[in-house]
Structure 1
Amino acid sequence: MPPVKGGAIENLIDVFVKQNELSKEHSITVFGIYSREAEEASKKYRHCTFKYIKLDKFSVGFRYIINRISPLKIGNAYIHKVKKELETIGEYDVIIVENRAEYAIPLFKVAKGKLILHLHNDILNIETKNATKILSCYEKVFTVSNYIKSRVLTITDKDKDKDKVVTLYNGIDSNKFDKNNYTSIYESERTKYSISKEDTVILYTGRVIASKGVKELIEAFIQLKEYTNVKLLIVGSANFGESVTDAFLLSIKEIAQKAKENIIFTGYIDYDKLPILYSIADISVIPSIGIEAAGQTVLEASSTGNAIITSDSGGIPELIGSNGIIISRDENFVDNLSTHLRTLIDDKELREYLGRNAKINARNFDDKIYFDDFCKLIDKKSKE
């Protein structure tokens, strides 16, 4: 942090921190792993202190081995150092743990009961090791969708525990993704990727991994053999913050050879430049076949005003409602995805209608609303 290497959670934290820069409502300390780029980027913030944890490979490796082979558990090297730092801070109102639910156990004593979990993924449920103990450590759990909330509540049927779990939908800087901001570079940006003005552009953004449904999207696109003026733009990499090649990426690039003239892989693109890529697209596809807690890409595409096709994964339907096309993840997923792509390619009026509605819907997830809702929940907790 700041999110110099991308990451949906990191960027969401940054949304909150940047809004606080404007409101000056809170004094914030953010703990994170040290990187030179992050430390440099942190200098522009005035109302947030960034404390960096430096980890040496020996310490991390030693702790990992001991925790794996010995009944003596010595804990996570990162959180061990965070605990020491917390003891030097003095008074604070709340500690917010971002997504690492298990940190509650080592943090509980030093936090003096002032713990909130901000949960972004389906990693705290009845199947989680020490689930009941972890949940008991938190005063509140903010979940990014009702779907994730329902998963947490599989742990308990006690009313007091149910009351502590609250849905807090993600927020986004909708102005940053407004397509109108990038009209002056529309043509040049398309030219960079050998896309003409007449081409219809289908966009995927995110990590290029199996659970995101990228392979299924390529297979659906290959079925569109009758179209010569349609391009598929795949933006992302297998890893955060860098373009890397792994076995899965190599395998889908091999499949993509069947339509190699019309499928473009960009590799990793810095988050600040993503709105430009959204702006040159006509259709955004979020084809997740794994579980999406609340895909931030849905809000990005909605804020841009692109027509959206997505799956029924996790919390995605909560974000898009009836303002896009939602496909069931069944045995016909690829064929149905191809069919709906054809529909939107052929029907420009429908594309624009869905895009307008999605953009209107995105206002409900504006970063200012997100910040205000987050603050109200924190304030409510502190008063309790």
Structure 2
Amino acid sequence: MINICIVAPFDYPIPAIKGGALEQVVENLCVENEKRECLNITVLATESKDIIKNNYKFTNFIYFNKTAIDKMWFYCFRLIKKIIGIYIPAYPRMIKVKKWLEKNNNRFDLIVYEDGLTYMLPYLFKNIDRNKVVSHLHWIGDPNKKTNYFFSELLPVSKFVGDEWINNCSHPYIDVSVVKNGIDIDKFNKKLSEKEKTVIRNELGINNEAFIILYVGRIIPEKGISELIEAINIINNDNVVLLLIGAAKFALNGMTVYEKKVKELIEKSSNNIIQLGYIKNNELYKYQNIADIAVIPTIIEEAAPLACVENMAAGLPIIITNSGGMPEYAGKKCSIIVEKDANLQYSLAKQIKDLIENKDKRKAMGRYAELEATNYSITNMYNEFYKTLKLKVEKNNEVNKDKA
């Protein structure tokens, strides 16, 4: 078995009891590994009092406290990095993580950096052999030549992410192996009876004839929710309902400035817009079952949002923006791609209207969506993840043999 240490994201705990896309990916890899028994995994993660006892046989969790000063510290870190380019720890607990890694790195064949803060690579791995460090990258990251000196292989979740990194910093050389995200398909392809759908619609105050548009994701400016609401206002159809699911900080409490703005836009709108807030991942299928289509109106270059595949697995036609790696995941026969330009709200409105008026087209897209989603199972993701790590270990062993 290969011994690996996963440096997990530091926003939310693992298991992903409070949400978080990256946290869910790490949990999925650990769960699949229990079946496959290919890896001995140690996960460095954020502690939470809500975490229950570890029942994993092949995964050990090392937890680090998230303190009250972390948020303030992070703002200072960004300011110092921007002004003078010094890599101090992004959070106080990273000091402890760095010390732990330097003390224990010889126990592992590889260290997999799952956190999105790629600018922490120079700080964390300054005293560790770069050949042992792999970055599993879920966004564009912060590509620069200095960072490349502290890891040797990039596992981007899309070709787009890998190309962006290489185009911005090709030296020193790193290997690039795309490992696409995977989801628990069975969570999202559950089917409800018509009676069960009616119950949910009634609970939300939605009649059975209404056309439901679903958005699932974080409520932050980059996700294009304001533009989607504007598109609904352009359509201006009493029989259309926009269902918004998500929060800025997943299951954490508190409302951000942008969430307040979205709430105001909803209150000002004369159309049917329902905001449900954060819904647990294993409960999303209920709302996907009553939806007619899903829209992901991201206005930045997104690596590969899981919501894209989750909605496909639920059999929903999807409208997405031409954003980063998202088109790599969305099947051509089950998605409509619009440009994320100044006319986004009008483009969204046009394509939504088209799907409202074409039931046969929606049904065909839905069938293709379910079929396409099977390519993005947790098993497939784990297979690619393990295969890449195995090849990396073999390569390192050959290099070490030559040195000897």
Aligned to 1:84: 99
- Pair 1:46-2:57 in alignment: yes
Number of the residue aligned with 1:199: 210
SS in 2 for 1:376: helix
CA 1:190–1:81: 2 relative to 1, 3 Å: same
CA distance in 2, matches of 1:89, 1:215: 46
Q: Per-residue CA shift, 1:83-121, capped at 9, x if unaligned?
A: 232314751111100122223223325543310001111
The residue identity in structure 2 corresponding to 1:31 is L
Q: Does residue 152 in structure 1 map to residue 149 in structure 2?
A: no
Q: How far is 1:307 from its partner?
A: 0.8
The answer as to whether partners of 1:234 and 1:266 remain within 8 angstroms in 2 is: yes
Q: Please say if residues 237 and 243 of structure 1, whose CA atoms lie closer than 8 Å, have aligned partners that are also in contact.
A: no
Residue type at the aligned position of 1:142: L
CA distance in 2, matches of 1:180, 1:294: 25
Q: Distance in 1 between matches of 2:358 and 2:373?
A: 23
Pick from 294, 302, 310 the counterpart of residue 292 of structure 1. Answer: 302
Residues 243 and 268 in structure 1, CA contact (< 8 A), matched pair in contact too: no
Supply the distance in 2 between the matched residues of 1:246 and 1:156 (Cα, whole angstroms): 35
TM-score, normalised to structure 2, is 0.85
State the AA in 2 paired with 1:112: D
Q: Deviation of residue 182 (structure 1)?
A: 7.2
1:29 maps to what in 2?
Answer: 42
CA displacement, residues 279-336 of structure 1 (integer Å, 9 cap, x when unaligned): 2211000001122111111101111110101110111111114121000122321111
The DSSP-based 3-state class of the residue aligned with 1:318 is: helix
Shift of 1:140: 0.6
Counterpart in the other structure of 2:124: 107
Question: Structure 2 vs 1, CA of residues 379 and 214 (structure 1 numbering), >3 Å: closer, same or farther?
Answer: same
Amino acid aligned to 1:121: W
1:156-305 correspondence runs (5 A)? 156-157=169-170, 161=173, 164-180=175-191, 185-225=196-236, 227-260=237-270, 262-305=272-315
Aligned equivalents of 1:222 and 1:58: distance in 2? 42
Q: List gaps (5 residues or longer) in structure 2.
A: 1-13, 396-404
Distance in 1 (CA, whole Å) between partners of 2:239 and 2:18 is 33
| Equivalent runs, 1:338-353 vs 2, <5 Å | 338-353=349-364
Amino acid at match of 1:333: L
What residue number does 2:10 align with?
none
The amino acid across from 1:270 in the alignment is: K
Distance in 1 separating the partners of 2:42 and 2:194 = 38
Q: Could you give the per-residue CA deviations for residues 135-158 of structure 1, whole angstroms, max 9, x where no partner exists?
A: 122121011111111110123445
Residues 1:304 and 1:74: Cα distance change in structure 2 (over 3 Å)? closer
Residue equivalent to 1:75: 89
Is 1:327 the equivalent of 2:345? no
Deviation string for 1:28-65 (max 9, x for gaps)? 1111111111x32x523332111110244468867975
Q: Which residue of 1 aligns with 2:377?
A: 366
Q: Report the residue type matching 1:135 in the other structure.
A: N
Amino acid at match of 1:167: V
Which residue matches 1:309?
A: 319
Contact 2:121/2:147 (8 A) holds in 1: yes
**CA contact under 8 A between 2:89 and 2:120: conserved in structure 1?**
no
Q: For the Cα contact (< 8 Å) 1:182–1:279, is it kept in 2? A: no
**Hey, what does 1:128 align to over in structure 2?**
none
Task: Output the amino acid matched with 2:376.
Answer: F
Q: Secondary structure of the equivalent of 2:307?
A: helix
SS at match of 2:24: helix
Q: For 2:97 and 2:170, how far apart are their aligned partners in 1?
A: 33
Kindly tell me the number of residue pairs found equivalent between the two proteins. Answer: 374
Matching residue's letter, 1:284 = A
Of stretches 356-365 and 49-58 in structure 1, the one that deviates more from structure 2 is 49-58
Q: Which moved more, 1:101-110 or 1:138-147?
A: 101-110
For residues 112-151 of structure 1, the aligned pairs below 5 Å read 112-113=129-130, 114-125=132-143, 131-151=144-164
The one-letter code matched in structure 1 to 2:110 is V
Deviation at 1:204, TM superposition (A): 0.4
Aligned-pair RMSD on alpha carbons?
2.5
Q: Which residue of 2 aligns with 1:14?
A: 27
Q: For 1:61-87, what per-residue CA distance to the aligned partner results, in whole angstroms no more than 9, with x for missing partners?
A: 679759967988753422221123231
Structure 1 residues 189 and 45, CA gap change in structure 2 (3 angstroms):
farther
In structure 2, distance between residues paired with 1:7 and 1:189: 25
Runs of 5+ consecutive residues of structure 1 not aligned to the other structure: 126-130
Contact 1:63 1:74 in 2 (8 A): no
Residue type matched to 1:334 in 2? Answer: Q
Counterpart residue type for residue 93 of structure 1: D
**Identity rate, percent:** 31
Query: 2:328 & 2:57 partners in 1: Cα distance?
Result: 35
Query: What is the identity, as a one-letter code, of the residue corresponding to 1:299?
Result: V
Partner amino acid, structure 2, of 1:115: V
Give the TM-score, by structure 1 length.
Answer: 0.89
1:199–1:230: 8 Å Cα contact kept in structure 2? yes
